[in-house]
Amino acid sequence: MRKNDGYVGRIAPTPTGLMHLGHACTFLEAQRRSVEFGGLLFLRIEDLDQARCKEEFVQALEEDLAWVGLRWEVDVWRQSERLGCFRAVLQRLRDAGVVYPCTCSRKDVAEAIRAPHAEGQEPIYPGTCRESGLPMEDEAEALAINWRFRVPDGEAISFVDGRLGEQRFVAGQDFGDFLVWRKDGFPSYELAVVADDIAQGITEVVRGEDLLASTARQLLLYRALGEMAPAFYHCPLILDTEGKRLAKRAGALGLRELRAQGVAPEELIGLARRT
């Protein structure tokens, strides 16, 4: 655990749909650990996806979180209100020389990648724009292009997860140069959560184990920014009846549906274990 004045955790839903059982169990675990360590728990609304995030889902999230029994600090953050902070973090990365502009579209990347990769594993960006050195006429132009973080190829990124123990990912093999800024003027998930976790003084991140590889990428961002990383605790994923990870469209295990069926909040963890 990172040493500071105390434990600080967060729950960070994305308002692109209604909450399901998997979200609830992860957030309850975050609250349990916050209580265990006598710390604070913040609510952060990660609403940067302008096409999919809806205000109606924000209201539904807060209602569902309260019904589950979650309690958070009064100061609720919304990422959509923090673009200035994210631009400043991008500038710090540019000044450090660890990011570069990239003009590749998703189609360009897909066509350039020929090496096979396992199902579910991300394709490795081939480095097409790594040495392009595109000139930026002004700040507006710089914010209207993709930026990628240049990973240290071959370096092992290791950390100890609070639940799973020692984890190890090799840069350039398990993941490649990743986006930190999108040409639509918004930060990537990786940059936004690191910037906010630093600003809020988060000491432990509790989230699903599908984000283990993201942790390795984010550790590189913390290092490049000269900031101390929090501890990480990755929860098991709740699967549906077909053994697939729950999606927000999973009606049978949506909190609204469970609530309508008369399921009590205290039954959720037991229900998750039976799923």
CATH value at residue 180: 3.40.50.620
- Reported as a pLDDT band with limits 50, 70 and 90, residue 21 is confident
Q: CA 181 to CA 137: how far, in whole Å?
A: 18
Whether 158 is covered by a domain: the verdict is yes
pLDDT at 231: 98
> Mean pLDDT over residues 161-168, rounded?
98
Query: pLDDT at position 112, please?
Result: 65
Co-location of 189 and 252 in the same domain: no
Rounded distance between C-alpha atoms, residue 169 and residue 158, angstroms:
6
Q: Is the whole model's pTM more than 0.85, yes or no?
A: yes
* C-alpha to C-alpha distance for 205 and 274, rounded to whole angstroms: 26
Asked if residue 121 and residue 59 are part of one domain, the reply reads no
Q: Which of 195, 220, 253 is the last residue of a domain?
A: 195
Q: Are residues 102 and 190 in the same domain?
A: yes
Secondary structure (3-state) at 97: coil
- Rounded Cα distance, 159 and 228, in Å: 13
Residues 74 and 102 both lie in one domain: no
For position 204, what pLDDT does the model report?
98
Both 75 and 94 in one domain: the answer is no
User: What number is the average pLDDT over the span 157-171?
Assistant: 98
The pLDDT confidence band at residue 243, using thresholds 50, 70 and 90, is low
How big is the CA angle at 272 (ends 267 and 275), to the nearest 5 degrees?
125
Among candidate residues 265, 270, 139, 156, the one with its CA nearest the CA of residue 220? 156
pLDDT of residue 109: 75
Q: Are residues 116 and 72 in the same domain?
A: no
Query: Domain of 244?
Result: 1-81+238-275
Is 54 found in the same domain as 21? yes
Q: What's the pLDDT tens digit per position in 87-96?
A: 999 999 999 9
Q: Is residue 205 part of a domain?
A: no
CB atoms < 10 A from the CB of 28, how many? 21
pLDDT at 121: 60
- Domain for residue 202, yes or no? no
**Alpha-carbon distances, residue 127 vs 75, 109, 113, 132, 271 (angstroms):** 41, 9, 10, 10, 45
Pick the last residue of a domain from 141, 160, 195: 195
Residue bearing tokens 């990769």: 117
In this prediction, residue 265 carries a pLDDT of 85
Query: Are residues 101 and 114 both part of a single domain?
Result: yes
* Cα gap 41→88, rounded to integer Å: 25
Percent of the chain with pLDDT over 70: 86
* pLDDT tens for each residue of 142-155: 889 999 999 999 99
pLDDT score, position 254 = 82
With respect to residue 233, please indicate whether it lies within any of the assigned structural domains.
Answer: no
Confidence of residue 4 (pLDDT cuts 50, 70, 90): very low
More confident site: 86 or 261: 86
Residues 46-80: tens digit of each pLDDT: 999 989 999 999 999 999 999 999 999 999 999 99
- My answer on whether 95 and 64 are in the same domain is no
pLDDT value of position 240: 63
Q: How many domains does the chain have?
A: 2
Backbone angles phi, psi at 148, to 5 degrees: -115, 150
Residue 1 predicted with pLDDT over 70 = no
- Nearest-angstrom CA–CA distance, 188 and 182: 6
**199: nearest Cα among 80, 41, 85:** 85
pLDDT score recorded for residue 123: 81
User: Is 217 within the bounds of a domain?
Assistant: no
More confident residue, 264 or 159: 159
- 2 pLDDT more than 50: no
Q: Is 197 helix (H, G, I), strand (E, B) or coil?
A: helix
Q: Are residues 62 and 121 in the same domain?
A: no
In a domain, 175, yes or no: yes
pLDDT in tens, 203-240: 999 999 999 999 999 999 999 999 999 999 999 988 76
- Residues 184, 95, single domain; the answer is yes
Confirm whether 206 is domain-assigned. no
- Residue 183: the pLDDT is 94
**CA–CA dist 157, 220 (Å, integer):** 8
Torsion, Cα 263 269 270 273, to 10 degrees, reads: 130
- Map residue 142 onto helix, strand or coil: helix
**Residue 213 located in a structural domain:** no
Torsion, Cα 113 118 122 128, to 10 degrees, reads: -20
Task: Tell whether 99 and 165 lie within a shared domain.
Answer: yes
CB count within 10 Å of CB 70 equals 18
Which element (helix H / strand E) includes 100? strand 99-102
Dihedral (CA of 263, 264, 269, 273) sign: negative
State the pairing for strand pair 178-181/146-149.
antiparallel
Q: Per-residue pLDDT for 118 more than 60?
A: no
